[in-house]
Amino acid sequence: MQTAGYMNIILGLVFAPLLGGIINRVKAVFAGRTGQPLLQPYYDIYKNFRKGAVYSTTTSWLFRAGPIVGLAAALVALCLVPVNGATAPLAFTGDLLLFAYMLGLMRFFTVLAALDTGSSFEGMGASREVFFSALAEPALLLGLATVARRTGTLSLSELLAATSATSPELVLVLAALGIVFLCENARIPFDDPTTHLELTMIHEVMVLDHSGPDFGFIQYGAALKAWVLGSVIVGLILPVVGGNFLLLNSVALLGGMFLLAVVVGVIESTMARLRLIRVPQLLVAAGSLALFAFILSMR
Amino acid sequence: MLLLLALGILVISGCGALIVWNKPWLSSCIGAGGTVAGCAVGIIPALDVLMGGATRSLRSAWSIPYGSLFIEIDPLSAFFLLPVFLLSALAAVYGGQYLMHYKDTKRLGVAWFFYTILVASMALVCVARNAVLFLIAWEIMALSSFFLVAFENEKAEVRRASWIYMVATHLGTACLLPMFLIFGASAGSLDFDRFAHSLPQPLASICFILALIGFGTKAGIIPFHVWLPEAHPAAPSHVSALMSGIMIKTGIYGIVRMLTFFDVPPLWWGWLVLAIGTVSGVLGVLFALAQHDLKGLLAYHSVENIGIIMMGLGVGLIGWSAGVPSVAILGMAGGLFHVVNHAMFKGLLFLGAGSVFQAAHTREIDHLGGLIKKMPYTGACFFVGAVAISGLPPLNGFLSEFLIYLGSLRGAISMGADVAVPLIGAVAGLALIGGLAAACFTKAFGIVFLGAPRSPAAAGARESGPLMVAPMLLLAAGCIAVGCLGFCIVPAMSGVVSSVLGFDAGRELKTAGGYLGSITVGSIALLLLVAGLTLLRRFLLSGREVGSSVTWDCGYCAPSPRMQYSASSFAQPITDIFRMFLRTEKHLRLSEQYFPASAAFKTHTLDVGFEKIYRPVFDGVKQVCARFAVLQHGSMHLYVLYIVITLLVLLVWQMR
């Protein structure tokens, strides 16, 4: 089982940027375009790694620490998420809290790096990021608590392995976590990740001044964050294949993740970005769904 | 007994500093040195008891009836003594240099006298085992801190703050007196060891409520918190650190000590404490977000953290009454652990804020900026404190919140609705508080230390002296060390938790220590990854061009530092959506001309507790009292007449 845990890390490290490629391809198909190559995110990261960097004279060591700590925190989060019966390398009782707070640490550094530039545009993105994530946090933890109540365990590894996709509260939890997923990864309807300017108001704004390897770290970290949050959702849906079916489980995980990316692509193609004042309402709705699910689970 | 020696050193050095009040250097040396020496001596018995040594007590008869002069160091006392002595010593070293700023205008000897008395009285509060002795220490603590708050009493707002503090703290004490009387009447003695299990149910609940109000006022729970945001910014920074870091914790100590006197509590006590904690936590951080004053922001964060501690106690109480030991132990241990953690990072943050104030001469967040380049050490220390208070791994704030979370989740996933509902509320509340605290401290640290200076004063700031930096470095190192060593600290708390709950917590805490060990593994992995990625970036950048330029300004060529995002704009989305609670007043002035030359925008957030509860109540009291003003003209003739009339009435009544 231990190899299976490490297998998930390898899968995440290798395939995380592909999710972005799939989303973009789906959007292109919807728009009737050919679209960028599926592997474009990999090319982007590779290109950034091979470039020099420009640092603003306003910035301090925090600006340089931001991308590194962000990526490191995402990697630790990856070591906490299991998929399909495998135990994650760092699993322990209560690891779902460390998982949520590692993502919080990543956000904390990204926000401070944005504020370090002294640009009001990046400050604006930072302000929205902390606001929305403060509202998304309760929804995430309430959702996971509901699943924990169904399964009677507080470790992500056991929790995801023991769920069955058949109960009504799980559907509610999935809806809540889906909203959190879109918000945390700055996708439509919360944020439009298409450009760096004007349309994009949250995540891409904050990283405007990063360049070269730093920007590559940020892109890779963002892809990993999408991967870990996505694999929690996929892990809740997918049934577990008992025994030592490493290959089968890996294929199932990949299939699930790609399907999730397709769904996100469809959402992005068919919806518009919400007005900013509507965003908190959607997040509170997610929290309410999760709370309702918890109440249902007390039957 | 070493503790008495420590108290003696403190008081003597305070008197010494007072005697040489006209020599600022000498009195500071005596005051700070005496505090450090006293704390060093005092910490020995505390550590010994915590490490599993026998409880030390001292009992002798005194002239006050119903009891004896009784002091005792048990694990609970020792647990609170530890931060008292540690933070007091560090803050004293810091204060030695901080107060030099005032050496020509103030009598430093007086300040040092009250400082040492405050430290000694806090220690005495933690060890007193007799109600009278306890209340004497409690009152000395209130008075000495009142004089310290009023240090800069030539300023009107400082005088106002110190009077608000004085009134609030005595309202709290007014609830403690009847509580001790009820206990004393029922136990037949005012010694604490007779109080245990002496009260039948309705009386016990009344006492509990009184304790909650009385001690809660000192701790700063909402709605009794009104003095906190006034007094903490007004006091000198090392005193703010002391007050926020430990003095308000004596309120928590009082509540926990009371709990040891009761049998298994009814369930609604836990509900109540948990509700108070959640409300204090959420509203505290919201008001903190709306502040423009750096120390005001930190003061509201004390309300928030007291809320978190109360949530831990509430979870513990619920688990205790519901008969789930693991929930009770985890909640109680998390709450108590947060007491120590908060003392460390809040002390650190207040000291940092003091350094900022002395360097830039303003506490207005929107006038600061870019200080991390001018004050690298203060900046780095404040940063550590900010990460810790936001409850983020790998620092100590996360560990105590983790224990409270774990306790709540344990109960929420296994128990029936009457227990699960409040506990899941605690989980949601903690998550919201955590998110908002991160928002608040990215604001506080980001606007004050990052970006470009927003005013000439901030641009001219310089790093503080070594005696101010060293305590901050030590506290920052402490936050990191506790964050990494949680797995050995929490099991060592079993004596403390057991003494509160009355059953053995050792096994449960050892398991919890195992989880914290896993967190430490995660933290180490994080640090290794950070180191590895730093090397990777160095490798990637080697041989490539690394340039520096201005921040991308979207093509606009003349940005000025004043165009940066400000603290108010950063917090605006959040304060707007919670305006129901905050009631922020906005004043906007736009010029009417076609080519507007100037405009002004001002926001101000008054404390709702003060405006909606205290002010109406005190206005009412004032109105009632005003009716008696007819009797009091200040004219001597009338007063003589009153006396004569009174005497006549008494005479007639006696002759009847």
DSSP assignments along B334-397, one per residue: HHHHHHHHHHHHHHHHHHHHHHHHHHHS--BGGG---HHHH-HHHHHHHHHHHHHHTT-TTSHH
The DSSP H or E segment spanning B587 is strand B585-590
The two tokens of residue A149 are 């109540």
Q: Which residues contact A275 (CB under 8 A, 6 or more apart)?
A: none
The two tokens of residue B1 are 């007994």
Residue A24 CA, chain-centre distance (Å), reads 16
* B451 close to A (CB below 8 A): yes
User: Is residue B401 domain-shared with residue B344, that is, in the same domain?
Assistant: yes
Q: How far apart are CA B31 and CA B120, in angstroms?
A: 13
Would you say A110 and A232 are in contact if contact means Cβ atoms under 8 Å apart? no
CB contact under 8 A, A108 and B387: yes
**Structure confidence at residue B339 (pLDDT):** 96
C-alpha Rg value of chain B to the nearest Å: 26
Would you say A101 and B434 are in contact if contact means Cβ atoms under 8 Å apart? yes
For A187-200, what is the HEC assignment? CCCCCCCCCCCCCC
Q: Among A94, A130, A298, whose Cβ lies nearest the Cβ of B438?
A: A130
**Among all residues of chain B, which has the CA nearest to that of A110?**
B442
The two tokens of residue A258 are 């790609």
**Among all residues of chain A, which has the CA nearest to that of B375?**
A60
Q: How far apart are CA A147 and CA A25, in angstroms?
A: 33
Mean of pLDDT over chain B: 91
**Structure confidence at residue B450 (pLDDT):** 93
Q: How confident is the model at residue A248 (pLDDT cuts 50, 70, 90)?
A: confident
Residue B636: which domain range? 608-655
Give the three-class secondary structure for B465.
coil
User: Is residue B580 domain-shared with residue B641, that is, in the same domain?
Assistant: no
Sort out which chain B residues have CB atoms less than 8 A from A130's CB and list them: 435, 438-439, 442-443, 574
Over residues A226-244, the mean pLDDT reads 82
Q: Highest mean pLDDT range out of B171-175, B199-203, B576-580?
A: B171-175
Q: How far apart are CA B67 and CA B59, in angstroms?
A: 10
User: Is residue B377 domain-shared with residue B453, that is, in the same domain?
Assistant: yes
**Structure confidence at residue B117 (pLDDT):** 95
Q: How confident is the model at residue A115 (pLDDT cuts 50, 70, 90)?
A: very high
**Structure confidence at residue A244 (pLDDT):** 62
CB contact under 8 A, A133 and B435: yes
Q: Is residue B656 scored above 80 in pLDDT?
A: no
Task: Establish if B631 belongs to a structural domain.
Answer: yes
Task: Establish if B574 belongs to a structural domain.
Answer: yes
Could you read off the pLDDT of B221-262 as tens digits, one per residue?
Answer: 988 899 999 999 999 999 999 999 999 999 999 999 999 998
CA nearest to A205, candidates A189, A188, A186: A186
For residue B57, with 0-12 CB atoms within 10 Å meaning exposed, 13-18 middle and 19 or more buried, which class applies? Answer: middle
User: Is residue B498 domain-shared with residue B646, that is, in the same domain?
Assistant: no
Task: Give the dihedral sign, CA B111/B112/B113/B114.
Answer: positive
Q: How far apart are CA B483 and CA B466, in angstroms?
A: 25
Q: Is residue A152 scored above 60 in pLDDT?
A: yes
Q: What is the dihedral of CA B416, B421, B427, B431, to 10 degrees?
A: 150
- Percent of chain B past pLDDT 90, that is, above it, reads 64
User: Is residue B614 domain-shared with residue B526, that is, in the same domain?
Assistant: no
User: Is residue B331 domain-shared with residue B363, that is, in the same domain?
Assistant: yes
For residue A41, with 0-12 CB atoms within 10 Å meaning exposed, 13-18 middle and 19 or more buried, which class applies? Answer: buried
Would you say B366 and B311 are in contact if contact means Cβ atoms under 8 Å apart? no
Sort out which chain A residues have CB atoms less than 8 A from B377's CB and list them: none
Would you say A148 and A294 are in contact if contact means Cβ atoms under 8 Å apart? no
DSSP-derived secondary structure for B108-166: HHHHHHHHHHHHHHHHHHHHB-BHHHHHHHHHHHHHHHHHHHGGGTTSHHHHHHHHHHH
CA nearest to B327, candidates B336, B338, B316, B335: B316
Task: Establish if B295 belongs to a structural domain.
Answer: no
User: Is residue B579 domain-shared with residue B635, that is, in the same domain?
Assistant: no
**Structure confidence at residue A2 (pLDDT):** 65
Residue B116 CA, chain-centre distance (Å), reads 19
**Structure confidence at residue A243 (pLDDT):** 59
Over residues B415-429, the mean pLDDT reads 91
Over residues B157-180, the mean pLDDT reads 93
Residue B545 burial (CB count, 10 A): 10
DSSP-derived secondary structure for B31-79: HHHHHHHHHHHHHHHHHHHHTTPPPEEEEE--SSSSS-EEEEE-HHHHH
Amino acid present at B272: L
Q: How confident is the model at residue B295 (pLDDT cuts 50, 70, 90)?
A: very high
Give the three-class secondary structure for B551.
coil
Q: How far apart are CA A7 and CA A169, in angstroms?
A: 30
Q: How confident is the model at residue B202 (pLDDT cuts 50, 70, 90)?
A: confident
* B279 close to A (CB below 8 A): no
Could you read off the pLDDT of B444-497 as tens digits, one per residue?
Answer: 999 999 999 999 988 989 999 999 999 999 999 999 999 999 999 999 999 899
CB burial string B341-354: b at 16+ within 10 A, e below:
bbbbbbbbbbbbbb
Q: How close is the nearest chain B Cα to the Cα of A236, in Å?
A: 17
Would you say A126 and B570 are in contact if contact means Cβ atoms under 8 Å apart? yes
Sort out which chain B residues have CB atoms less than 8 A from A59's CB and list them: 551
**Structure confidence at residue B612 (pLDDT):** 82
Most B CBs within 10 Å, among A108, A146, A284, to test the B interface: A108
Q: Is residue A193 scored above 90 in pLDDT?
A: no
Task: Establish if B480 belongs to a structural domain.
Answer: yes
**Structure confidence at residue B516 (pLDDT):** 94
Q: Is residue B532 scored above 80 in pLDDT?
A: yes
Q: Is residue A99 scored above 90 in pLDDT?
A: yes
Task: Establish if B321 belongs to a structural domain.
Answer: yes
C-alpha separations of B375 from B353, B357, B367, B449, B469 in Å: 12, 12, 16, 9, 10
Predicted ipTM beyond 0.85: yes
CB burial string A55-85: b at 16+ within 10 A, e below:
bbebbbebbbbbbbbbbbbbbbbbbbbbbbb
Q: What is the dihedral of CA B200, B201, B204, B210, to 10 degrees?
A: -140
Task: Establish if B444 belongs to a structural domain.
Answer: yes
Interface of B with A in 417-446 (CB under 8 A): 417, 420-421, 424, 427-428, 431-432, 434-436, 438-439, 442-443, 445-446
C-alpha separations of B244 from B99, B228, B240 in Å: 19, 8, 6
User: Is residue B454 domain-shared with residue B497, that is, in the same domain?
Assistant: yes
Q: How close is the nearest chain B Cα to the Cα of A257, in Å?
A: 25
Q: How far apart are CA B449 and CA A116, in angstroms?
A: 8
Could you read off the pLDDT of B345-381 as tens digits, one per residue?
Answer: 999 999 999 999 999 999 999 999 999 999 999 999 9
Q: How far apart are CA B56 and CA B72, in angstroms?
A: 6
**Structure confidence at residue B564 (pLDDT):** 87
Q: Residue B293 gets which letter from DSSP?
A: B
Task: Establish if B36 belongs to a structural domain.
Answer: no
Could you read off the pLDDT of B33-51 as tens digits, one per residue?
Answer: 999 999 999 999 999 998 8
Cβ pairs bridging A and B (under 8 Å): 249
Over residues B59-72, the mean pLDDT reads 86
Residue A109 burial (CB count, 10 A): 24
Lowest mean pLDDT among A2-16, B239-253, B389-403: A2-16
**Structure confidence at residue A85 (pLDDT):** 67
Sole residue written with tokens 């040594």: B53
User: Is residue B408 domain-shared with residue B513, that is, in the same domain?
Assistant: yes
Task: Establish if B584 belongs to a structural domain.
Answer: yes
User: Is residue B418 domain-shared with residue B467, that is, in the same domain?
Assistant: yes
The two tokens of residue A244 are 């030592």
Q: How far apart are CA B116 and CA A173, in angstroms?
A: 55
Backbone angles phi, psi at B72, to 5 degrees: -155, 140
Would you say B82 and B50 are in contact if contact means Cβ atoms under 8 Å apart? yes
Q: Which residues contact B213 (CB under 8 A, 6 or more apart)?
A: B172, B175, B224
User: Is residue B518 domain-shared with residue B614, that is, in the same domain?
Assistant: no
Over residues B532-556, the mean pLDDT reads 88
* B412 close to A (CB below 8 A): yes
The two tokens of residue B624 are 């009632």
User: Is residue B480 domain-shared with residue B510, that is, in the same domain?
Assistant: yes
Q: How many domains does chain B have?
A: 2
Give the three-class secondary structure for B191.
strand
Q: How confident is the model at residue B94 (pLDDT cuts 50, 70, 90)?
A: very high
Through-space distance between the first and last CA atoms of chain A, rounded to whole angstroms? 34
Interstrand relation of B599-604 and B585-590 (parallel, antiparallel or unpaired): antiparallel
Q: How far apart are CA A37 and CA B42, in angstroms?
A: 69
CB contact under 8 A, A127 and B409: no
Q: Is residue A81 scored above 60 in pLDDT?
A: yes
**Structure confidence at residue B601 (pLDDT):** 83
